[in-house]
Amino acid sequence: MLSDVTTPQDLDDRLRESLAALTAPRHRTDPARPVAEGATLTGAQLLELFDAQVTSRQLDLAGRWLRSFGEGYHTISSAGHEGNAAVAAALRPTDPALLHYRSGAFYCVRAAQAADPAAGSVLLTADDDPDGTPTPPTAPTDPADGGDSADGADSPDPTDPGDLSDSADSAGDSPTVLDTDPTDDGGDGRARLAVVRRPVAAAYLEAARDALRGMVASGQDPIAGGRQKVFGRADLAVVPTTSTAASHLPRAVGMGLAVERLRRLDARGAPTQADPSFRASWAPDAIVVCSFGDAAINHASATAAFNTAGWYDHTGLRIPVLFVCEDNGLGGSLRSPQGWVATALRSKPGIRYFAADGADLVEAYQAAREAAAWVRRHRRPAVLHLSTVRLLGHVGAEAESAYRDAEEIAADLAADPVVATARRLVEAGLAGGGELLDRYDEIGWQIRRLAEQVLDEPKLGSAAEVVAPLAPRRPVRVTQAVADAGLYAAGPGAGARLEAFGGKPPELSGPLTLAQSINAALTDGLLAYPQMAVFGEDVAAKGGRYGVTGGLRDRFGPARVFDTLLDETSVLGLGLGAGLAGLLPVPEIQYLAYLHSAEDQVRGEAATMGFFSQGALRNPMVVRVAGLAYQEGLGGHFHNDNSVAFLRDVPGLVVAVPARPDDAAAMLRTCLASAVVDGSVCVFLEPIALYHARDLYGDGDGEWLAGYAEPGTWAAGHVPVGRARVYGVGSAEDLTIVTFGNGVRMALRVASALADEGIGSRVVDLRWLAPLPVADLIREAAATGRVLVVDETRRSGGVGEGVIAALVDAGYVGAVRRVAAVDSFVPLGPAARQVLVSEEAITQGARTLLAR
């Protein structure tokens, strides 16, 4: 008697028992014909999709087997979700796909679709007529072929285990005919078609090898290289996602927006210079597909994505995204209330609703084709609600019986989609139960052999190997990119530049404020990079909350400078998708505190793309953030936030904080070039209190203004990532003040006053909070032996902690003292002065340090 807990052994035994109980069909059906009346799916396709489902199921069992002796590190299974094979078959292999963890069957089908067309897989021809009407795929016409894919020519011989390691070398294999007597009519006058044993498609086995390598953290995993188990491969147009929740949905919306924009630009022949590496194989009418579980619809990121897609659709802006909700009724141990998912998805404004039973491949395939065709034709978003079951629990060895009763578990087992497909094959006269059981065992044997092989593959063996794709830095190329932009602006692009600036380029406009300098640099960036787009809340019509983006929309049009809805998660998601599609997004977040509500889009989505794709995929982006404190008359911690701790904690992120106008322009040019050259994700943190500052030491001195560099001098004035700026005041021999942002202005004032007393100071403007300019920091600290760290962020988790740690790590033995903001939110009005760093506090800290 089998237990009511779906252990791998139980699930395997039950499935084998169910297959063995299926009888042989009385009459064989031509696999080239539709599997049922009115169906689009052919028998040959259904046979291949069954193989994909079985491959996925055997991968789940192999994963649990690996885990049983400590060699498997991923046990979230696709069991019960194998109906997503039909979704993959209904799409083109070049449609970008963002898949959740339970997508084993989808991934196998996508691999088969993307295989060499010469292989002749019947799944390759699944497509739509231009009018959106589904067209039956081409299938083999030879009854004796049995729907075999010519992939079998490259499949390993199932009787030779050695072939598994080099299946591509086994050309010449052919289907094994088991019954070649078409004259046997079974007594009813109808000829019986031959029964054929089809070799397992090589593409399925390669897809299985990919998945198994991820499970065992193999360094040869083709997507993440052993860093994470994900479904992804650039050549399959599958984007790796690292969560079964909804954090990837905003990116999918951004990709849809970018796909449509690029399609329209390509149709007009307009230049974009978009990075072609990932989108090179996309068709002009490509759509984006994004899958997720039912519990994920309750996630804030999902709400943001659905709302953004619907919002843009309502305004007439097209976003061709197919959301696929695979609904197994559970999120972890929590049930989705009966009917809630369907009600919620149906109610999404601007999003067309489709639904299907994921256990019925024929129905699921038809619904997926209709949904994909609708999105492709109308260029509008839709959702496919696919009902599924969850077998093998949520993850690992959890006991489902702790939160599910035996009847519920048994009901899911009875709805096993692999068994359902097998029944359909038997009923359609395409195979017998014994044949399907043999097929199941054969694929299982090959998967187990693959699992044994990947066990011996090397793992990542050093920290350097792990972080290699995290944040590539090619400073020479970045410098050259800045120089090239300057040469173009001074040469071939001079006329367009003059026109963009209304006949008066900024270098001829006299000294500029920080805000004016950033505006000019954004203009030059939009001229230098046709793929660049500036967007965010209020950036277009209003020109930004502080006027920093004023005039950009008039200069470049609403396609390149546009307002978004008021949701930071969506703003960043649009940027992430656009960057992945090859554009150069420059989103703006109005206030630093607003960024915290969407930080997962930076930490979990943006910064991980290169890491989990070994650099094969990237999402270059420069996020402009107005922030930091010291805004007199405008208080409250949402407008005066001084916390950057989470930004400094994100591996690979570049964080720039310009204090002066001339630095702001140069650093922005560096960030744009770094994004283009290295795929960097940069946060450009702009001190609001310095936007319109003009004076330094006294009213009217104009010392905080600076001229804008001529394009021909951009290379000479280039500011590399991670290099500080040093100001010498007086003899510059007594004290080193390390600071950034608003602290630079205060520190220079204090240093000037100390110089009047004969005390010389070096003021080090870090400029880059990540990576810190450690070499410059150590050099300037050693020069005086006294370091005062002026940190406008909080004492706990602030920048000063990182600065002092860098000094200690480098063996600095001089004196050091810190002045930092109080561990408090910034209050309203004059009370803010009680918790923020002041010039008086800096002066007191300097005198205390000098007295030692």
HEC secondary structure over 148-174: CCHHHHHCCCCCCHHHHHHHHHCCCCC
Q: Which residues of the chain have pLDDT under 70?
A: 1-6, 116-197, 243-244, 270-272, 277, 332, 396-399, 401-402, 633, 635-636
- For 292, the 3-state DSSP assignment is strand
Distance CA 187, CA 413 (A): 38
Angle between helices 568-580 and 300-315 (to 10 degrees): 80
Tokens standing for residue 677: 């050259």
Q: What's the confidence (pLDDT) of residue 221? A: 92
Amino acid identity for residue 640 in this structure = N
What is the structure's pLDDT at 397? Answer: 64
pLDDT at 166: 34
Q: Is the peptide bond before 658 cis (omega within 30 degrees of 0)?
A: no
Chain-centre distance for alpha carbon 87: 21
Phi first, then psi, for residue 564 (nearest 5°) are -115, 170
CA 779, 780, 786, 790 dihedral sign is negative
**Any alpha helices (H) in 357-396, and if so which ranges?**
361-378
Instruction: Name which of 698, 741, 849, 703 is nearest 785 in CA terms.
Output: 849
Is residue 624 within a helix (H) or strand (E), and if so which, with residue range?
A: strand 621-627
Is residue 602 helix, strand or coil? helix
CB half-sphere exposure, 59, CA atoms < 13 A: 38
* 102 phi/psi in degrees, rounded to 5: -95, 50
C-alpha triplet 340, 343, 349: angle, nearest 5°? 135
Residue 401 near residue 23 (C-beta atoms within 8 A)? no
List Cα–Cα distances, 109 to 88, 197, 228, 261, in angstroms: 6, 20, 22, 29
CA distance 5 to 409: 7
pLDDT tens digit sequence for 809-825? 999 999 999 999 998 98
Decide: 680 and 651 in contact? Cβ < 8 Å: no
Place of tokens 């960030």: 671
Contact 668, 717 (CB under 8 A): no
The three-class DSSP label of residue 563 is strand
- Rounded Cα distance between 373 and 131, Å, is 9
Q: Select from 765, 766, 762 the least CA-distant residue to 730.
A: 762
Q: How far apart are CA 145 and CA 151, in angstroms?
A: 13
| Number of Cβ atoms within 10 Å of the Cβ of 339 | 8
Catalytically annotated residues: 639
Residue 170, pLDDT score: 35
CA distance 404 to 381: 35
CA–CA separation, 774 vs 504, rounded Å? 40
CB 637 within 8 A of CB 587: no
Residue type for position 806? A
Express each pLDDT in 484-527 by its tens digit: 999 999 999 999 999 999 999 999 999 999 999 999 999 999 99
- Residue 130: Cβ within 10 Å count: 8
Report angle CA 349, 353, 358 to the nearest 5 degrees: 145
Chain-centroid distance, C-alpha 616: 12
CA atoms within 13 A on the CB side of 581: 33
Give the DSSP letter string of 641-662.
----HHHHTSTT-EEE---SHH
Torsion region of 406: left, alpha or beta (phi above 0 gives left; psi -120 to 50 gives alpha): alpha
Phi, psi of 789 (to 5 degrees): -95, 115
Q: How many CA atoms lie within 13 A of 298 on its CB side?
A: 12
The pLDDT of residue 433 is 94
Q: Which residue blocks in 536-660 are alpha helix, DSSP H?
A: 552-556, 568-580, 592-596, 599-600, 645-648
**In sequence order, what are the residues at sequence separation of 6 or more whose Cβ sits closer than 8 angstroms to the Cβ of residue 269?**
none
